[in-house]
Amino acid sequence: MEEEIKKDVQSMLTPFRYEHCVRTAKKAEELAIRWGYSPKIARIVALAHDMAKDLSYEQYIQYAQENEIILSKEDKLVKVHLHGIIAAKMCEKKYQFTKEMTDAIFYHTTARDNMTLLDKIIYVADKIEDGRDYEGIEELRIMAMQNLDEAILESIHYSIKKCIKQQKYIHSLSIVARNDLLSKRSNRI
Ligand SMILES: [Fe+2]
Ligand SMILES: [Fe+2]
């Protein structure tokens, strides 16, 4: 299945995006080993996570209509979230991914409440793969190996701040994810 996914992803994406998927898979494998999850599943899901990224907005809407995917107003406002929703459905149909696997793809842009270990691995691997470069990434890479929840919280804060700066809509899933992680942190103290 892995080779098939690799081929499909390569044919659906620009070389730049395909390389991002390969690097995300490598990082997801490292995180899975560190945090006690199946490296193979983490690798496969990470490989496929952005497979719908090069489709247009119109294509997302059309795919959703053809596949009985209900998109909320908010989903449509946060356009970047749509590629995860569509890729999750594609993987379910094409490779019979389990719900756990498709959920990790579905939520890889926004995060969510009560994230599974696979959600966390994919979310973080996507943000810290070796090709990424932004302020604070080195600290985030170290944090991901020490405290996965803190790394997610940091990463959500980073993207929320970016949305505010650019006056972009913030998906409520990200706010809920942030509050969930914060509340669990205060319980630990
Ligand atoms: Fe993505
Ligand atoms: Fe990605």
Kindly give the distance from the C-alpha atom of residue 87 to the centroid of ligand 1, in angstroms, as a whole number.
Answer: 9
Percent of the chain whose pLDDT exceeds 70: 98
Where residue 28 sits, what CATH number does that domain have? 1.10.3210.10
Write out pLDDT tens, residues 133-148. 999 999 999 999 999 9
Q: Which ligand is nearest to the CA of 127?
A: 2
Q: What is the pLDDT of residue 122?
A: 98
Dist. CA 128–CA 112, nearest whole Å: 19
Surrounding ion ligand 1 within 5 Å at CB are 50
Q: What is the pLDDT of residue 12?
A: 98
Kindly give the distance from the C-alpha atom of residue 126 to the centroid of ligand 2, in angstroms, as a whole number.
Answer: 5
User: Could you tell me which of 136, 182, 130 has the C-alpha nearest to residue 155?
Assistant: 136
Dist. CA 104–CA 120, nearest whole Å: 8
Kindly give the distance from the C-alpha atom of residue 187 to the centroid of ligand 2, in angstroms, as a whole number.
Answer: 31
Residue 112 lies in domain: 2-188
Dist. CA 45–CA 60, nearest whole Å: 20
Surrounding ion ligand 2 within 5 Å at CB are 50, 126
Average pLDDT of the residues in 80-91:
97
Q: What is the pLDDT of residue 188?
A: 56
Residues in CB range of 85: below 8 A, 6 or more apart: 60, 64, 69, 71, 75, 106
Dist. CA 48–CA 87, nearest whole Å: 7
User: Could you tell me which of 132, 119, 144, 126 has the C-alpha nearest to residue 34?
Assistant: 144
Kindly give the distance from the C-alpha atom of residue 188 to the centroid of ligand 2, in angstroms, as a whole number.
Answer: 31
Write out pLDDT tens, residues 169-184. 999 999 999 999 999 9
User: What pTM, to 2 d.p., does this model score?
Assistant: 0.96
Q: Which ligand is nearest to the CA of 24?
A: 2
Average pLDDT of the residues in 62-72:
97
Q: What is the pLDDT of residue 185?
A: 86
Alpha carbon distances (Å) from 111 to 77, 151, 165, 181 = 16, 12, 20, 11
The total domain count for the chain is 1
